């Protein structure tokens, strides 16, 4: 137990009248103590719950995101796009990253993904479950957080004991292990788009935020997406039906085995959905003048 850490628990856990927001130095000192396990598990739990209820500020999130990047072991992979998935898994539809990578392999575009043990609170199939059980194309690069950011991975036990989402679920989305210029991530709700843009856009030349399937950047049905570039945000819509795609999303929970089967032996409509996602990335990478042109090239 650290007496020094008490001040951070008090900052988020003493009620509306006495809680206060942490500045950059305080936030990074607090998070350093958490990552280095200088605070006890009980203290970490108390802070994470209090921080969410306070609630978190954008500046606190930015400080945390920037600190996470300093811990991350990196290796530069040129022409790469980082896909920032949630760590609580997917329940109803398979991950598309391997199919997307296959579509983009001949265009010299590398796909970057990071996985770890399951985090609260959805209990879905994890990216790590998939990435470690498939044959990957040469342009799909998987980073295991236990290897490149072990300090955050080692918080899994504490997070499991809490059994609920915390601010870390948001801050951990994009850690840029390959020094990518482009990143994609997803949001459940439109109001979070602005928060994600402020948290992550300064790390990339282009950030794409998709109101996609299960909080990922994966497009399975008509949805909104935003392109963040040079401090500008533009909003767009995309509908698979405009590309002749009639994929029906599943609302039933699928197992790891079922998910792997769908990925390893995709039907025609799933291939088309993956191709549409790849077309958006091809367009964002300036290798096509429109998504429609990119989809045609891939077809």
- pLDDT band at residue 225 under the 50/70/90 scheme: very high
- pLDDT band at residue 191 under the 50/70/90 scheme: confident
Range of the domain at 30: 6-55
Residue 121 falls inside a structural domain: yes
Q: What pLDDT, on the 0 to 100 scale, is given for residue 252? A: 81
- pLDDT band at residue 251 under the 50/70/90 scheme: confident
Tell me: do 204 and 89 sit in the same domain.
yes
Q: How many CB atoms lie within 10 A of CB 181?
A: 16
- pLDDT band at residue 267 under the 50/70/90 scheme: very high
Tell me: do 156 and 236 sit in the same domain.
yes
Mean pLDDT of 207-214: 96
- pLDDT band at residue 188 under the 50/70/90 scheme: confident
Instruction: Encode 128-155: b = buried (16+ Cβ within 10 Å), e = exposed.
Output: bbbbeebebbebbbbbbbeebbebbbeb
Tell me: do 102 and 234 sit in the same domain.
yes
Lowest model confidence (mean pLDDT) among 15-19, 114-118, 129-133? 15-19
Instruction: Give the phi and the psi of residue 223 in degrees, each rounded to 5.
Output: -160, 170
Residue 122 falls inside a structural domain: yes
Tell me: do 22 and 161 sit in the same domain.
no
Tell me: do 183 and 109 sit in the same domain.
yes
Residue 189 has pLDDT above 90, yes or no: no
Q: What pLDDT, on the 0 to 100 scale, is given for residue 39? A: 97
In the predicted model, what is the mean pLDDT of the chain? 96
Q: What pLDDT, on the 0 to 100 scale, is given for residue 147? A: 98
Tell me: do 135 and 49 sit in the same domain.
no
Mean pLDDT of 142-154: 98
Distance CA 191, CA 266 (A): 34
Residue 91 has pLDDT above 80, yes or no: yes
Q: What is the DSSP letter of 117?
A: S
Tell me: do 84 and 137 sit in the same domain.
yes
Residue 249 has pLDDT above 80, yes or no: no
Q: What pLDDT, on the 0 to 100 scale, is given for residue 244? A: 95
Whole-angstrom CA distances from 93 to 97, 222, 256 are 12, 15, 10
Tell me: do 164 and 30 sit in the same domain.
no
DSSP letter for each residue of 133-185:
SSPPPTTEEEEEHHHH-HHHHTTHHHHHHH-S--HHHHHTS---TT--SEEEE
pLDDT in tens, 57-70: 999 999 999 999 99
Residue 73 falls inside a structural domain: no
Distance CA 105, CA 44 (A): 42
Number of domains in the chain: 2
Q: What pLDDT, on the 0 to 100 scale, is given for residue 208? A: 98
Tell me: do 18 and 158 sit in the same domain.
no
Residue 65 falls inside a structural domain: no
End-to-end CA distance of the chain, in Å? Answer: 59
Residue 72 falls inside a structural domain: no
Q: What pLDDT, on the 0 to 100 scale, is given for residue 123? A: 87
Question: Over pLDDT 70: what percentage of the chain?
Answer: 100
Residue 74 falls inside a structural domain: no
Tell me: do 164 and 35 sit in the same domain.
no
Beta strand ranges found along the chain (DSSP E): 80-84, 110-115, 140-144, 182-186, 206-210, 223-229, 232-238
Instruction: Encode 5-38: b = buried (16+ Cβ within 10 Å), e = exposed.
Output: beebbebbbeeeeebeebeeebbbbbbebbbeee
Q: What pLDDT, on the 0 to 100 scale, is given for residue 281? A: 98
Residue 41 falls inside a structural domain: yes
Tell me: do 108 and 171 sit in the same domain.
yes
Task: Indicate the residue among 40, 55, 70 that finishes a domain.
Answer: 55
CATH code, domain carrying 91: 3.40.1030.10
Question: Over pLDDT 90: what percentage of the chain?
Answer: 92
Tell me: do 110 and 253 sit in the same domain.
yes
Residue 113 falls inside a structural domain: yes
């Amino acid at each position: 137990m650290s007496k020094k850490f008490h001040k951070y628990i008090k900052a988020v856990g003493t009620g509306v009248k006495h809680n206060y927001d942490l500045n950059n130095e305080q936030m990074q000192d607090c998070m350093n103590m958490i990552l280095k396990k200088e605070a006890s598990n009980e203290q970490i739990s108390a802070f994470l719950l209090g921080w969410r209820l306070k609630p978190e500020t954008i500046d606190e999130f930015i400080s945390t995101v920037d600190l996470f990047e300093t811990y991350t072991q990196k290796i530069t992979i040129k022409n790469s796009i980082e896909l920032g998935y949630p760590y609580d898994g997917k329940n109803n539809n398979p991950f598309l990253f391997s199919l997307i990578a296959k579509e983009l392999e001949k265009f010299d575009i590398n796909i970057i993904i990071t996985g770890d043990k399951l985090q609260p609170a959805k209990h879905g199939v994890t990216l790590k479950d998939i990435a470690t059980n498939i044959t990957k194309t040469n342009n799909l690069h998987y980073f295991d957080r236990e290897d490149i950011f072990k300090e955050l991975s080692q918080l899994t036990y504490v997070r499991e004991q809490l059994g609920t989402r915390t601010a870390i679920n948001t801050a951990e989305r994009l850690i840029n292990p390959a020094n990518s210029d482009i990143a994609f991530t997803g949001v459940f709700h439109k109001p979070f788009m602005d928060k994600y843009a402020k948290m992550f856009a300064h790390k990339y030349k282009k950030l794409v935020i998709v109101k996609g399937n299960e909080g990922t950047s994966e497009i399975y049905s008509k949805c909104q997406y935003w392109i963040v570039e040079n401090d500008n945000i533009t909003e767009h819509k995309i509908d698979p039906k405009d590309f002749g795609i009639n994929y029906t999303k599943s609302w039933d929970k699928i197992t790891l085995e079922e998910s792997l089967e769908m990925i390893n032996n995709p039907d025609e409509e799933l291939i088309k959905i993956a191709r549409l996602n790849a077309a958006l990335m091809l367009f964002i990478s300036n290798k096509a003048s429109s998504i429609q042109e990119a989809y045609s090239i891939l077809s």
